[in-house]
Amino acid sequence: MPDGPDIAEFQREVASWLADHADRAPRDYGAICPPELIERGISWQRTIRDAGFAGIHWPTEFGGRGLSVEHNGVWLLECARAGVPPVLNMVGLVLAGGALLRYGTPAQQERHLRATLDADDVWCQLFSEPGSGSDLGSLSTRAERDGDRYIVNGQKVWCSGGRYSNWGILMARTDPAAPKHQGISFFLCPMDLPGIEIRPLKQMTGESEFDEVFFTDVELPADHLLGPEHGGWGVGMAVLTSERGHIGTAVISLERRLDSMMRLSEGRDLDPTARQELMRLLSTGSAYKAMAQRQGPVASTAGSLMKLGITQMTFDAAMLRGDLAGASALLDGPDASGMLAAPGGRIAGGTSEVQRNIIGERLLGLPREPKPESSRS
C-alpha cells in the first residue's frame, strides 16, 4: 500500500478542499474542456496541481502524489458531486499520461509528465478517421519511416480540443502489409508541425467542440514513437480501456440528472407511461451506482457493461426530461441542448455496438464474430 492517508481520511480532505475552492472552477464540462473555457480550465488545473490533487496516483518522481487508483477514484467522485471538472481534460491526464507512464521512455516521461500536470502540455486524441471510428483497426493514416523521422499523411476526425492543444496522441499505420491490428504504431505528435491543418466540426447542438485534423507530409521525429514500432494497437487499447474505466463520474452525473427530473416532476400529474419510465430510470440508476461502487475506479472489461448501460440511461433520461419539460423548453436552453447531445455518449469511447461485442466475447464467453473473409461461402 502506498504511504499516505487512508481512503476515508482522503475523502474528507478532498471534500473539505473542494468546499473552499469549487467557486474557482469552471462549470463541470465533463471529460473535455470546450474551447471557450480553455483559459479557465488551465487555471483550474494549476490550482489542482498546487493543492496536490493532480496525478494523485502518479509516482512522486513525476510530480504525482504516489497514492492508489482508489484514492484517485475518490477525487473523481467528489469532483462530480461538487459539480467541478476533475482535470483540465481527460486526454492529457488519463490517456496520454497513462500511456506515458506505462510505455514511455525515461526521456519521454521526463519531457511530458510534469508538463502535463502543469497544463503546459495540453493534449488531444488523434484516433478516429472518416472510415474507421469503432473499427479503429481499419485506420488508413500512414506514417512511413524515413531515416530519423516518419512522414505522416491522412485525416483524423472527432478530435477533442485540437484547436487549443499543443500535443496529440496519434495512431497511424506504419506497416501497410501487416494484418490490420499489427501494422499500427502510437506516436506523441506536436500539433504545430508544418503540414498539420485543424478545422472545427459543427455539431447539431450548434457548438464546435470537436475538430478534424489533416496531415500532409508531416515530418514527425522518430523518437516520438511511444512503445514498439507496429505495436501501437496494444498501446491504444490500453488507453481506451482507461477511458472506459472512469465510470464513477458518469454515475454521479446521471444521479444529478435523475434528481433534477424528480424535482421537475413534483407537483405534476404525470401520465402512467411517464411515471413508469421515471421509476424505471431511478431504480436502474441505483443499480448502476451500486455496480460502480463495487467495481471501483480501476479500468476493466466490466467498464464496457457500465459504459453501455449508463450512456443508454443518460439518453433515455434526456428524452424523458424533454417530455416533462414540455415543448417550449425544447426550443432553447439546457433541455434542448441535452436532448441534442445525448446520442453522443453512445458513440464516444466505443459505440454501444462495440461494447455489446466486448461484453459477449470477454464477459459471457460467446464466440467471436466471424471475420468477413471467413464468413464467405
DSSP 110-178: HHHHHHHHTTSS-EEEE--BTTBSSSGGG---EEEEETTEEEEEEEEEEEETTTT-SEEEEEEES-TTS
Residue 83 covered by a domain:
yes
Residues of the chain with pLDDT under 70: 1-3, 133-134, 241-258, 264, 292-302, 327-335, 349, 371-377
Same domain, residue pair 151 and 255: no
| Strand-pair category, 123-126 with 149-160 | unpaired
Q: How many domains does the chain have?
A: 3
Residue keyed to cell 479503429: 136
Q: Which of 201, 230, 259 is the last residue of a domain?
A: 230
* Cα 69 from Cα 75, distance rounded (Å): 10
Asked if 142 and 153 touch (Cβ cutoff 8 Å), the reply is: yes
Q: Is 270 left (phi over 0), alpha (psi -120 to 50) or beta?
A: beta
* Cα 21 from Cα 298, distance rounded (Å): 27
Quick one: what percent of the chain has pLDDT higher than 90? 43
The cell numbers describing 268, all together, are 405534476
Q: Which of 62, 88, 114 is the last residue of a domain?
A: 88
Same domain, residue pair 260 and 225: no
The cell numbers describing 196, all together, are 498539420
Same domain, residue pair 252 and 349: yes
Model pLDDT, residue 302: 66
Same domain, residue pair 287 and 320: yes
Residue 56 covered by a domain:
yes
The cell numbers describing 40, all together, are 479557465
Same domain, residue pair 270 and 351: yes
Model pLDDT, residue 168: 97
- Neighbouring residues of 137: CB distance < 8 A, sequence distance ≥ 6: 180, 181, 184, 233
Same domain, residue pair 129 and 79: no
Model pLDDT, residue 1: 47
Model pLDDT, residue 29: 80
* Cα 144 from Cα 43, distance rounded (Å): 38
Residue 111 covered by a domain:
no
Same domain, residue pair 226 and 251: no
Same domain, residue pair 205 and 260: no
Same domain, residue pair 141 and 216: yes
Model pLDDT, residue 103: 96
* Cα 36 from Cα 161, distance rounded (Å): 10
Same domain, residue pair 253 and 209: no
Q: What is the CATH number of the domain that holds 133?
A: 2.40.110.10
Q: Which of 203, 230, 257 is the last residue of a domain?
A: 230
Q: What is the CATH number of the domain that holds 262?
A: 1.20.140.10
Same domain, residue pair 186 and 266: no
Residue 238 covered by a domain:
no
Report which DSSP code applies to 361.
Answer: I
The catalytic site residues sit at 243
Residue 369 covered by a domain:
no
* Cα 15 from Cα 236, distance rounded (Å): 34
DSSP 73-119: HHHHHHHHHHT--SSS-HIIIIIIHHHHHHH--HHHHHHHHHHHHTT
Per the structure, the complete domain to which residue 280 belongs is given by 247-363
Residue 235 covered by a domain:
no
Alpha helices in 219-348 (DSSP H): 232-245, 248-265, 272-295, 302-325, 334-341
Residue 117 covered by a domain:
no
Model pLDDT, residue 226: 97
**How far from chain centre, in Å, is Cα 269?**
39
Model pLDDT, residue 284: 81
Same domain, residue pair 147 and 209: yes
- Neighbouring residues of 95: CB distance < 8 A, sequence distance ≥ 6: 123, 125, 169, 239, 242, 243
Residue 112 covered by a domain:
no
